[in-house]
Chain A
Amino acid sequence: MTVRVGESANAPSFPKAALPLLDDAQLRKNVRHATDVIQHKRAIVVAEQKDWQQLRDAASAIKEHTLRHLDHYLLEFEAKCTAAGGQVHWAADADEANHIIIGLVQQYNSKEVIKIKTMTSDETRLNEALQEASIHPYETDLAELIIQLGHDKPSHIVVPALHKNRMQVREIFQQSMGLPNLGDKPEDLTAAARNYLREKFLRVKVGVSGANFLIAETGGVCIVESEGNGRMCLTLPDALITVAGIEKVIPAFRDLDTFLQLLPRSATGERMNPYNSIWTGVHPGDGPKHFHVVLLDNGRTNILADAEARQTLNCIRCGACLNTCPVYRQTGGHAYGSSYAGPIGAIFTPQVLGMEHGQSLPYASSLCGACYEVCPVKINIPEVLIHLRGRVVREKQSAANLEAIGMKAMAAIFKSARRFEAAQRLGRIGQWPVVSDGWVKHLPGLMGNWTAVRDLRAIPQQSFRDWWRTRKKESGQ
């Protein structure tokens, strides 16, 4: 099975990938600014929702229930969608999903598609597959358009171009749209995008979308967005193809009551998204004549099989965990080497990559817990990160590595107070070559990573337990 999550197959480890980003002053300023703005807006609209915690509980319970009965709800969705005139396809992995979509586009005799932002198609690298089949994809979400025209990669699951500022967007539009005199006001930029996109909306016969929710009860699909470009993609083409991960299904229409209160507030700090589209099958004389849904597994059933990590599939892709993450704040999304960045990417990517390449990602977190606190579906991301770290350690067990040897030695020391005290003494005596004036400034090996950026206080001459013993003796106890 070929599983792909964006570019991760060849991506460097997180600490390495972070380096050029940490040095990119403009990017870091843009990421800090954008995440601060969204977090501020989110805090206001979350605070006014008095039953926020109950909503989180409800959403988490709905997701847990759905995942436990995923087979049932997926089949129900297929039956209802088919009855409404849609056609459902099942894709085990990214290649199969791309193959199905390419076949459909060719069936409708089109050489191009318009796309509303879909992270799932980023995950399968659909655009590359389409281009290999001589089909041109046009991204129509403004941020995805900026990414596509700038030959860049998304750095956020909701705001893919948040690492670019207005001036940088202007340059991309100037060059790619042939508009040397384009201004940098928001109105100038949106007008340029509108002119560029309108013509595509009216011309291109096939649309490709993602999905926020698949409604099992009705066979309907729901997408929320801010620009209305999605609405154009969903209504104007002759044929519409929706690609969605199997975890996107929810049991009933009424469940949207919970999710549509949580999602916009968490994602963009809005009470409601400007555009909420829900469609079911096809309707003569109204919207696309042909409607297809491609249900994608791509490693998701492996996650489902792991009881401790299953909650990963609760995710509704709001991006709140990225915005609040102090690690993401420093690097932006590209360091995560995948379509899914930030804390959710750090747990999702390694699981669908069979733990081979994503081994550094579970460690790309200080376990500060801010992600769990904001998650609208209560994914305990730190808990899953620790669980995945356990898997990394077990997989590395066979190879002799310094970290494992050191950790095991320390565990053996901590198993006995006598050994612990001996180690304290050894450290106190052995540290003299590296101590100067009570501080350590250079350490060898892995601990050199500590002193590379910070000083370390030397081990004091008397441990607490030694002091305690002396005190006891002196007081004659």
Chain B
Amino acid sequence: MRISLFITCYNDTLFPETGKSVVALLERLGHQVDFPLAQTCCGQMHYNTGYQEEAMPLMRRFVEIFKDAEVVCIPSSSCVAMIRDHYPKMAEATGDPALIRDTEALLPKVFELSELLVKKLGLEDVGAYYPHRVTYHASCHSLRSLHLGDTPLKLLRKVRGIDLVELENVDRCCGFGGTFAVKNMDVSAAMLSEKLKDIENTTAEVCTAVDNSCLMHIFGGLHRQRAGVKTVHLAEILAATEKSSR
């Protein structure tokens, strides 16, 4: 399958390892990955902060760049949520019939990474090897917008060598929330502190998720505390093999 990758603006800039892992994983599974260089950002931060007008041209760009794709893979549930939950209404608001049509046609082809693997490609065992104690943080958008449930866990359970341990209060927000983290930094810190307690209680050395945005916040807190626990995007665990770990 020819899979077009939307890496997302912050993964592109801050977490290139995640992108490289997605490419390695999908190619290992026999797919062809395409990365349209014109891509930038889905507009989520603007839209959710109240700058809906500023998000409009970004929505247009995304649809324009990816409308001819066979399948679009996005290693971020919150960006997929932005596209699924808000793009149709935004396109509608422009009154542009071609844009409305293109958006409608594009949406069913857009998948979050674990969703693509499990629901679209019917895979659970992707041949990964990751000999570490890992706990999985379910991001809010993965749960309540994409309704992924334990889809990412299905993949993790099949990883060889992994010691997967359940996180308490897995459905509770970590306190990131985009600009919430800076606009309400003290409440965000209180929420983070609860999440870090749950993570540390697992005695895992790695906390994973399908969103680097939550993980940036969680790792930021763990690192500030010198907790000795790191965060790793799901793609990086799934891309790891016995060969790569040697």
- Chain A interfacial positions (CB closer than 8 Å to B): 14-15, 18-19, 22, 326-327, 329-331, 362-370, 372-373, 383, 386, 389-394, 404, 407-408, 410-411, 413-417, 420, 424, 427, 439, 441, 446-447, 449-450, 452-457, 459-460, 462-469
Contacts and interface: CB of A to CB of B under 8 A. Distances in A.
A148 to B, nearest CB: 29
A446 to B, nearest CB: 6
Contacts of A326: 172-173, 175, 191, 194
B127 interface: no
Contacts of A363: 179-180, 183-184
Contact of B191 (A327, A404, A411): A327
A464 B187 contact: no
Nearest to A467: B16
* Secondary structure of the A contact surface, majority rule: helix
A316 B54 CA distance: 35
A390 B52 contact: yes
B47 to A, nearest CB: 7
Contacts of A373: 144
Contacts of B194: 326
A372 B144 CA distance: 9
A369 B49 CA distance: 15
Contact of B186 (A15, A464, A466): A15
Contact of A366 (B39, B58, B143, B180): B180
Interface in B13-30: 13-20, 23
Interface string B62-88: 000000000000000000000001000
A292 to B, nearest CB: 42
Contacts of B43: 414
> A19, A326, A373, A411 — which one has the most chain B CB atoms within 10 A of its CB?
A326
A330 B191 contact: yes
Given A386-B48, A417-B38, A465-B12, A19 B186 contact: yes
A431 to B, nearest CB: 11
A447 B182 contact: yes
Nearest to A458: B14
B48 A367 contact: yes
Contacts of A364: 184, 187
B14 A457 contact: yes
B40 A462 contact: no
10 contacts: A367-B177, A369-B140, A408-B54, A411-B58, A416-B40, A417-B39, A427-B13, A449-B183, A454-B220, A459-B13
A389 B216 contact: no
A183 to B, nearest CB: 34
Contacts of A394: 50
B185 interface: yes
Q: How large is the interface on B (under 10, 10 to 19, 20 to 34, 35 or more residues)?
A: 35 or more
B241 interface: no
A410 B179 CA distance: 14
List the 10 closest A-B pairs by CB distance, nearest first. Answer: A366-B177, A454-B220, A389-B50, A393-B50, A369-B144, A411-B54, A368-B173, A464-B19, A368-B140, A449-B182
A454 B58 contact: no
Nearest to B185: A449
A411 B140 contact: no
B202 interface: no
Contact of A368 (B23, B50, B144): B144
Contacts of A18: 184, 186-187
Nearest to A386: B48
B177 A467 contact: no
Contacts of B177: 365-368
A241 B48 CA distance: 43
Contacts of B216: 456-457
B241 to A, nearest CB: 19
A355 to B, nearest CB: 12
B48 A389 contact: yes
A335 to B, nearest CB: 8
B160 interface: no
Contacts of B178: 366-367
Contacts of B40: 413-417, 420
A450 B220 contact: yes
Nearest to B22: A464
B166 to A, nearest CB: 18
Nearest to B18: A464
Nearest to B36: A417
Nearest to B212: A457
Given A446-B182, A456-B220, 15 more contacts: A15-B183, A15-B185, A363-B180, A368-B177, A369-B145, A373-B144, A449-B182, A449-B183, A449-B185, A450-B181, A453-B192, A454-B220, A455-B220, A460-B16, A464-B7
Nearest to B145: A369
B179 to A, nearest CB: 8
Contacts of B45: 410
Contacts of B48: 367, 386, 389
Nearest to A411: B54
Given A456-B216, A457-B14, A459-B14, A331 B37 contact: no
A15 B57 contact: no
B140 A370 contact: yes
Contacts of B7: 464-465
